[in-house]
Amino acid sequence: MEHIRVSRLKTRVSLVVCVIDGMTSQTPLGNNTTTVFLEGTRSKAISKSNGSYIFNDLPSGEYRLVVSSEHYFQEQTLITIGTDNLIEVVQLKPLPSYPFSQGAGLIRAMLQDADGAPERNASLQATILTEECARARVMAEQLDKGAEEITLGAFTGVISAGDTYILRGRGAKAAEEIIQIAEVVEHQKRFRLKK
C-alpha cells in the first residue's frame, strides 16, 4: 500500500505594494523592469500582473521599501510592519526619458544652494492660487479635520491612490490640510484618506 503525505503550509500576507505610474495612474511602463524590495530582509516580493507585489511572513519592524523602474525616479519610503496586512501605494515619478504624450504639461525644477550645487532631498510644494485651477471640489458643506473619507466632484483628470493634495477651505477662517488618497472607494467619487 502506498502512503501519501499531505502538508499544508500557512503563509501570512504582511505587505502588498501597489506600484502605479504617476502620470497615468496605470501599471508602470515596462512593468517587467520594475523591482520592489525591502532593505533588511531576504524576503522576495511575489509580483502580480496588475502591478502589485506581495511580501509574506515578514517579522514585525521597520523596513525601507525601495522601488525602481526603467522610466522613473527611484522611490524609497520607511514602512512599519505589524500584525495587520499593510497596503502601500507607490506612485512612480517619470524621468526625463519617459515617453510623455504630446501636449502633456510638466514642470521640472532644481533647487540649488548658494554655490550652485543641487540640494538633495529638498521638498517643494506648489500652491494653486485660483479656484479655476483646482483638481476637484469637496461635495460637503463641512468636512471635519482628520476625516477618514471624502466625497469629491467637479474633477479635472483622474484622482488615484497615492495622490497628495492640499484641502483648502473658504471664508475668513479658511483652514488648510494636506491629505493623501489611500484608496478609491467609489470610482472618481468617494475616497479613503491615509491617516
If you write DSSP's letter for every residue of 26-87 in order, what string do you get?
SSPTTGGG-EEEEET--PPPEE-TTSEEEEESPPSEEEEEEEE-TTB--EEEEEEE-SS-EE
* Domain identity same for 87 and 140: no
Q: Which one of 92, 112, 139 terminates a domain? A: 92
Kindly state whether residues 86 and 135 are assigned to the same domain: no
**82 and 146 within one domain:** no
Does any domain span residue 55? yes
pLDDT in tens, 15-70: 899 898 888 778 888 767 889 999 988 889 988 887 789 998 888 889 999 999 98
Looking at the DSSP bridge assignments, the partners of residue 194 are none
Instruction: Express each pLDDT in 143-162 by its tens digit.
Output: 777 778 888 877 666 777 77
To the question of pTM greater than 0.95 for the whole model, the response is no
Pair (73, 138) in one structural domain? no
Q: How far is CA 76 from CA 67, 139, 167, 179, in A?
A: 6, 34, 25, 20
User: Residue 33 falls within a domain, yes or no?
Assistant: yes
For 80-127, write each residue's pLDDT tens digit: 888 776 888 888 888 888 888 776 666 777 788 889 888 877 777 666
Q: Are residues 84 and 146 in the same domain?
A: no
pLDDT in tens, 162-186: 788 877 777 666 677 888 888 888 7
pLDDT at 111 (0 to 100): 81
- Is 22 a member of any domain? yes
Query: 84 and 23, same structural domain?
Result: yes
The tally of domains found in the chain comes to 2
Q: List the grid coordinates of 111.
A: 533647487
Assess whether 72 and 137 both reside in one domain: no
Q: Which residues of 91-107 are buried (b: 16+ CB within 10 A; e: fewer)?
A: bbebeeebeeeeeeeee
- Is residue 103 in a domain? no
pLDDT at 72: 92
Please give the residue range of the domain that contains residue 161: 131-193
Look at residue 39 and tell me if it is in a domain: yes
Domain final residue, candidates 43, 76, 92: 92
| pLDDT score, position 173 | 65
Taking the CA atoms of residue 46, residue 42, residue 73 and residue 127 in that order, the dihedral angle to the nearest 10 degrees is 90
Q: Looking at the structure, tell me whether residues 150 and 81 fall in a common domain.
A: no
Q: Give residue 179's pLDDT.
A: 83
Q: In whole angstroms, what separates CA 104 from the centre of its chain? A: 21
Distance of alpha carbon 180 from the chain centroid? 8
Distance separating alpha carbons of residues 112 and 15, to the nearest angstrom? 37
Q: Tell me, yes or no, whether 63 lies in a domain.
A: yes
Domain contains 123: no
Q: Residue 71 maps to which CATH number?
A: 2.60.40.1120
* Largest distance between two CA atoms of the chain: 85
For residue 62, what are the CA distances in angstroms to 40, 51, 58, 72, 170? 9, 23, 10, 25, 39
Q: Is the residue at 147 inside a domain?
A: yes
Residue 105 has a pLDDT of 66
As a whole number of angstroms, the distance between CA 141 and CA 152 comes to 12
Looking at the structure, tell me whether residues 22 and 81 fall in a common domain. Answer: yes
Domain boundary among 92, 120, 146: 92
C-alpha to C-alpha distance for 79 and 129, rounded to whole angstroms: 34
